[in-house]
Structure 1
């Protein structure tokens, strides 16, 4: 082991701060590093500096503050700069398509993208979504998601993200971001960080240690930053005692310093709690701008924590001007970063998030300015082809006793509500918060309206018609006698069942976002058992937001196949039929572990708290989540899972051979980053609040009341409020609550694990080993093998294995193809809390290669990097 020496900054003890006490040390009031070693970011930064230097104080504040909930056309909209002809930023949900609009696509969920284990498909999905967001005139797509990561299998929003494995999520979020931003749209990585459940999400205080943060939850956000993400959304919860959106460790120290993030941090909607705490701790954009609380809750004087309140704080010297300039520079740097090449133009929003009518109020909250607000632009292009491909290739074949692929049986019974067309149409339930008909996405703000939805029953009916297959169909999950009657009449019975989840502002049957358990909904388990009792060719299809307890079906001799289809989007039925009949090879692999019981996961969803007003949750399991728990002796048990992470069957067989390892010679090059940034610049006019006319210049313009829009957030100050001793609500921190370092614009010390490029120390990403393995198709049909590489880091504190590579490779019968993996220094490292850096331990390390986390065909010990 070669630890790196590092003395923590004088005013904070990192190790103490990350245990039981709130982190109030202000280790770095971080600014955009300049110069940057990334030419694209540097060019964008220079353009941003030139732009910001021309702005007035109130124009700067306008670009940092949302105009208010339902105050404008978009889910989130910042103020504009009319003097320069710059329209405010339009921000829209969500991670699988444009929310609340027509003539746009409903893509497969993030977990489905991850289940393909295909970098090509994940990137293409991001590109297609970016194309649609841009076509609607949107600046920022509120996605992709790496938080929730998926700590608990019941987590309501796990499906919006990718996988509880940080490596798979890191690859998926990076490829998605590259795809979105290649189309001139800023991606927003969310929810940063530890937003792992919906219960208590706005108040829970998550206590976590430094190592777990780095090796698990921060890991995919590092990949997002390295991919060039333009924005990051901070989450509702607290982290070690402080709200994430006003947490200097989370935003300044980790994200902006250690990871070198050069974009902007926006709040989740209503996740900002103060003026000074958020501004001095690294927040750059407040959304939606106004206060999203009950009408009876205390309201700040300006109806916003920023807007006029931020202008006032800058004029009074409570927020230094360089910090405001930094906020706006970050926002504009991200804007210029994606507006390059053929995407230099900027289309205006051509829709309203609040109605799909052609005409309506431009400002919904005030019912003002009726005009044409929807142009009904069709942005779908040919994306249905990709959606169908991802739906098919994300389908995981969990069990197959030889029945699949089907070769058009004489008769086919389709059984269950989850197979059917929703009776009121695919968008009948607001936010998709119901299970009347097939489930193709979860519920909440991560949804999009379906332009259409091909149900499994419809797709199977059409296939049956084409091949003269007698077709039976029943919609009820509760009439078990009828289900058994038609199942007994058919050669093959396909039974469908679902379990959904979502965001906690809606609830289904008492499931407030998070699932209450891991059983199937709507009598699904009883339906499967009833059908299997009478038909020995029973196929089970599951549409779920994560794992369910399905061991009884795995063990049942009449259940011949089980498929997990996840949330496949608008082409749901077509994608499934493609796999069932062998038109598309089933390359899907499970992005999570299927435990035999809820208790087998070793973690708990917190549903009650000793103090419901101040709930606290400790992540005592550390890095041992999902397969890391199940497969590590002394933690979980291998036999307590029905299907393991990475599992998925196909229609042919593969042979693994010739595992070779090549060690690279540049391993000694890693050094901790040293040096400092430049001092924080003040851009444009320097505001001197001691000059009386300066204050007067930032008050509401003359005649303002004649054109003021009610409930709209403005950047100007009120002199009565300005001269008052009050500053926000009684609970808001005042300037005396912050140490001098919180407003220090001097040059900042670079962290050892940081660097001058995005993602941290550049040498963390150098390749130390190259691993090659040969894959031979020993079957009779062409197939896709998802080759997975796992690494053992050794030592008693590490999981048994960690995913560190995957590739999907298409191989013809009797053909052999080589597959190559690269292991980086980061892949081989653990986080050292004392050194505040990554290090490679001297424990023996080994690589394992195979088709799943428990089917590892080949392994070798890694050659030693160095000798003591």
Structure 2
């Protein structure tokens, strides 16, 4: 029957987990099989390609603040039958229900299927929702409070639409390469800035009673070759997705760092990524899921695949996967690696009951942890259409009914969106106080396609897959539908007309003669330019998700040159998804001001007008480096497959040296450095004080002991007649069910090879007590990592004439030969009145001063001298002190 995929699908990669590869081969881990290896120099250990297996999958214990949620989940799961448990873990199929992903329901207990819905900037594919600024803008605010408030507002809109899981926020990609297509969905290539804003966003979303889903775990640093099927559509003949080959030190000190912050903050779900990590798919990589996430970080929530990110049945189950989305092997195939196949796998003992029970406990505990038992409401939208009436099962065209109630969930969020948009606008240049403008300039001219409307409307390009008009939102599944988009042209025109001024605009970048004529009349010319990117399933102007280069789009450079050659008061405003090359704009005397405004969402025009006209004094800082040349970043994307028809290989040979760390190591001067941003006022730094709390001699105790044995909940009947398709249930085509089509397992599995104990990885079915990892101990890792060792204070004085906001930043030199010159460790956004001072306060934890020890598999503070720096950017650090 069509609801049952051949069980052979389940075992196609059955042996693969036991040979999963990763470069972390420097020390024996419990229950792991290793080739012969010695402990390499960390700098030479970067070209990794082997992922050691780690089994069994750790079972959740209700650690930390999860105890109450686990107790409720255990009571619930104990009541479930086998097929009800399988229903919780398996999506019903692409376009099978009303959300982008839904698992099976449990009608007997009144539990409706869970709605998993994009995106990290709002509720995707619906109407009457807000579009929030992108993650990269939140990073640029360097403001914890705004990150939390945005998360809470987004979570409340998801909650009011009936969404249970918001598929966001994003910390992968981190931003290894500046051309990465989805870097804008995340925060910053700095792991600390990302980790703090990631965690704040998680807590904000979950405070609204919605499960946050941190993604994409892990190494998803480019769109090219993330899926072999997608790559085939672009003409690339590869057998498997790209492999991100990352060494142990780099994994811990860079890419895993923000996920540890999220786990510590209580993130209730995590999405594994499409790519391979060290030649094992991220959604069945036992080292990434079992060892790092559930073992070392003591993660208590559930792991869900990216959509079509599952590549095996038994293999992924034993490697730590808890939920598969959207449930089918390929969209609308009607076949699944789990569903009925998982039912068979439990019945024949290939997947032990305790592993399925743990999947369910984690899923239901997440539900209770965020309070969905009190906050859940019926789904009132449809991800496949904004029509009022349609099919409940969209692809199967069955169940015609009311599917969209057009619930307006925006509340007063426009005010917050406008605030974040202006608070994230970075002032890069301001010659002779060209800004702020007064609105009474004699003749204001605005130039650029990026200033105006998309002629197709703000939602005229599906998933924002074009670069027409102002760039308020980049493209892909991380987008949402605009309720409106305030353009810069409209906002500035309103400003000028309210002062009875003169305003004209040209939004065609290639209207050369008209641009020259208008520029010659302008007393101030404001040029809007952009650079777009997005997810790999959409190509815009030849950019397959990732950007092909770091230049401006749509002739932006020529536009700036044409205007600034004529008008000696040219202001440049940039909307971009990440870094770009500014050429000589920073030194061009006719370009009097430059602002980076990122991807600001629906209030784009109002936000930039607030800054241009001085209602908001800019205080944002660059969340990445603006270098002088592409090669200065020290990393790049892989644009052409490099392994024949095999999986493309990306060796992260730069280690932890990305963005500002790379330029620092190479002693290259950037155009504008990480953390840089001007204000309409000025600030001074003084009086650095370092207070020893515990100091570096404080005790750090590796975690010891063992877990309890794996628990099981309820019993599983061995009577296969109990698992046949119910006679009273109407079959929906292509829907993924947990039911069998035969009472004989071998027949039901449609394969004589349906798995046995000889097929599964060593130790993967072991339910006995397991040793705890030394770096574990609580969600987020060993609790002593977060002990405060020092407290730093400094005095920040507003030496100008107007109120402003400044972001003092704390950097640390760890001192080792393989360490970056400096690394960001803390920051605080302060609001200071003119002539007044404020105290910057920052804690330094044990984790902040530690390096990853590959032999001990733990964090350790090296004997090298530690120096702290405080300043206004990564290259302007007037205060320093050596830690004793």
The change in CA–CA distance for 1:16 and 1:420 in structure 2 (over 3 A counts) is farther
C-alpha contact 1:206 1:616 (8 A) present in aligned 2: yes
- 1:399 is aligned to 429
The 2-side partners of 1:727 and 1:808 are apart by: 61
CA distance in structure 1 between the aligned counterparts of 2:263 and 2:750, rounded to whole angstroms:
35
CA deviation vs aligned residue, 1:313-353 (integer Å, no higher than 9, x gap): 0001000000000000000011100017xx71410110000
The answer to whether the Cα contact below 8 Å between 1:28 and 1:253 also exists between their aligned partners in 2 is no
Q: CA RMSD in A?
A: 1.8
In structure 1, the partner of 2:185 is: 160
Would you say 1:366 and 2:396 are equivalent positions? yes
- Structure 1 residue 852 and structure 2 residue 873: aligned? yes
Measured against aligned partners, the alpha-carbon deviations of 1:240-267 in whole angstroms (never above 9, x if no partner) come to: 1110000000001000010010000000
1:648 matched to 2:677? The reply is: yes
SS of 2:495's equivalent?
helix
Task: Name the residue aligned to 1:578.
Answer: 610
C-alpha distance in 2, partners of 1:311/1:518? 50
Q: For the structure 1 residues 99 and 14, does the alpha-carbon distance in structure 2 shift closer, same or farther, using more than 3 Å as the test?
A: farther
Q: Distance in 1 between matches of 2:129 and 2:174?
A: 27
Match of 1:631 among 664, 668, 672: 664
Say which SS state the counterpart of residue 220 (structure 1) adopts. helix
1:211 to 249, 258, 261: 249
Mapping of residues 685-704 of structure 1, within 5 Å = 685-687=715-717, 689=718, 694-702=719-727, 704=729
Of 618, 640, 659, the match for 2:688: 659
Contact 2:56/2:318, CA 8 A, preserved across alignment: no
Structure 1 residues 467-525: Cα deviation after superposition (integer angstroms, max 9, x where no partner): 12200100111122211211110100001111100001110011000000001010000
Q: CA deviation at 1:726?
A: 6.4
Taking a change above 3 Å as real, the CA distance of residues 15 and 665 of structure 1, as seen in their structure-2 partners, is farther
Are 1:274 and 2:312 matched, yes or no?
yes
Q: Displacement, 1:686?
A: 3.8
Which of the numbers 301, 306, 310 marks the counterpart of 1:263? Answer: 301
CA offsets 1:122-172 (integer angstroms, 9 cap, x no match): 110001001100000110000000000000000000000000000000000
Match of 2:282 among 214, 237, 244: 244
**Deviation per residue, 1:424-476 (Å, 9 max, x gap):** 21001111011111111110000000001000000000001001220010011
**Cα gap change, 1:721 to 1:437, in 2 (>3 Å):** farther
Aligned to 1:290: 328
Contact 1:100-1:353 at 8 Å conserved across structures: yes
Say which SS state the counterpart of residue 642 (structure 1) adopts.
coil
Which residue is equivalent to 1:753? 775
Runs of 4 or more consecutive aligned structure 1 residues displaced over 3 Å after TM superposition? 13-22, 724-730, 732-737
Q: 1:802 to 1:20 in 2, by over 3 A?
A: closer
1:390 to 420, 426, 451: 420
- The one-character-per-residue Cα deviations of 1:528-557 (angstroms, maximum 9, x if unpaired) are 011000000000011111111103211211
Q: 1:743 aligns with which of 765, 774, 779?
A: 765
Aligned 8 A contact 1:276 1:734 in 2: no
Unaligned runs of 5+ in 1: 864-868
Q: Is 1:781 aligned to residue 802 of structure 2?
A: yes
For the pair 1:94 / 2:119, whether they are aligned, the reply is yes
Inter-CA distance 11–356: structure 2 relative to 1 (3 Å threshold): closer
After TM superposition, give the deviation of residue 668 of structure 1 in Å: 2.3
1:842 aligns with 2:863: yes
d(CA) in 1 for partners of 2:49, 2:634 = 26
Taking structure 2 as the reference length, the TM-score comes to: 0.92
Report if the CA contact (8 A) 2:742-2:748 is conserved.
no
Relative to 1, partners in 2 of residues 1:555 and 1:713: Cα closer, same or farther, differing over 3 Å?
A: same
CA distance in 2, matches of 1:263, 1:555: 51
- 2:737 counterpart residue number: 714
2:349 is aligned with 1:320:
no
Q: Which shifted more, 188-197 or 465-474?
A: 465-474
Find 1:80's aligned residue among 92, 95, 105.
105
Rounded Cα–Cα distance in structure 1 between residues aligned with 2:758 and 2:418: 57
Counterpart among 425, 430, 433 of residue 457 in structure 2:
425
Q: How does 1:249-648 map to 2 (within 5 A)?
A: 249-292=287-330, 303-339=335-371, 344-401=374-431, 402-408=433-439, 409-610=441-642, 611-632=644-665, 636-639=666-669, 641-648=670-677
CA 1:476–1:684 in structure 2 vs 1: closer, same or farther (change >3 Å)?
Answer: same
Q: Are residue 125 (structure 1) and residue 150 (structure 2) matched? A: yes
User: What is the distance in 1 between the residues matched to 2:655 and 2:544?
Assistant: 26
Taking the TM superposition and a 5 Å limit, the aligned residue runs for 1:26-41 are 26-33=54-61, 36=63, 38=64, 40-41=65-66
Choose the corresponding residue for 2:135, options 93, 110, 122: 110
Alignment check: 8 A CA contact 1:679 1:747 kept: yes
Q: Distance in 2 between matches of 1:654 and 1:563?
A: 19
Instruction: Map residues 175-190 of structure 1 onto 2, 5 A cutoff.
Output: 175-190=200-215
| Residue from 222, 227, 242 that aligns with 2:265 | 227
SS at match of 1:821: strand
Once the two structures are TM-superposed, the CA of residue 422 in structure 1 deviates from its matched residue by 1.5
Q: In the aligned structure 2, how far is the partner of 1:545 from the partner of 1:420?
A: 18
Equivalent pair of 1:647/1:852 in contact (CA under 8 Å): yes
* 1:396-430 deviation line (CA, Å, top 9, x unaligned): 11111020011221110000100002222100111
**Alpha-carbon distance in structure 1 between the residues aligned to 2:28 and 2:565:** 67
Q: Offset of 1:846 from its aligned partner?
A: 0.5
1:609 CA drift (Å)? 1.7
Contact 1:308–1:717 at 8 Å: present in 2 too?
yes
Q: Deviations over 1:659-687 (max 9, x none)?
A: 01011136523100001111111101144
> How far 1:729 sits from its partner (Å)?
12
Q: CA separation in 2, counterparts of 1:241 and 1:855? A: 41
Q: Show structure 2 runs of 5+ residues with no match.
A: 1-25, 39-44, 228-240
Aligned pairs, how many?
A: 835
Distance 1:79 1:721 in 2: 24
Cα offset, 1:695, TM superposition:
1.2
Residue 277 of structure 1 contacts residue 733 of structure 1 at CA under 8 Å; is this kept in 2? no
In structure 2, relative to structure 1, the CA distance for the partners of 1:797 and 1:20 (3 Å cut) is closer
Q: CA deviation at 1:613?
A: 3.6
SS at match of 1:199: coil
Residue 7 of structure 1, CA deviation: 5.8
Whole-Å Cα distance in 2 between the matches of residues 681 and 111 of structure 1?
42
In 1, Cα distance between equivalents of 2:404 and 2:711:
42
Deviation of 1:767 after TM superposition, in Å, equals 0.2
Query: What residue is the counterpart of 1:668 in the other structure?
Result: 698
Q: What TM-score comes out, normalization by structure 1 length?
A: 0.94
Which position in structure 1 is the counterpart of 2:819? 798
1:147 lines up with 2:179 in the alignment: no
1:581 positional shift? 0.7
User: CA contact under 8 A between 2:133 and 2:599: conserved in structure 1?
Assistant: yes
Q: Distance in 1 between matches of 2:88 and 2:749?
A: 25
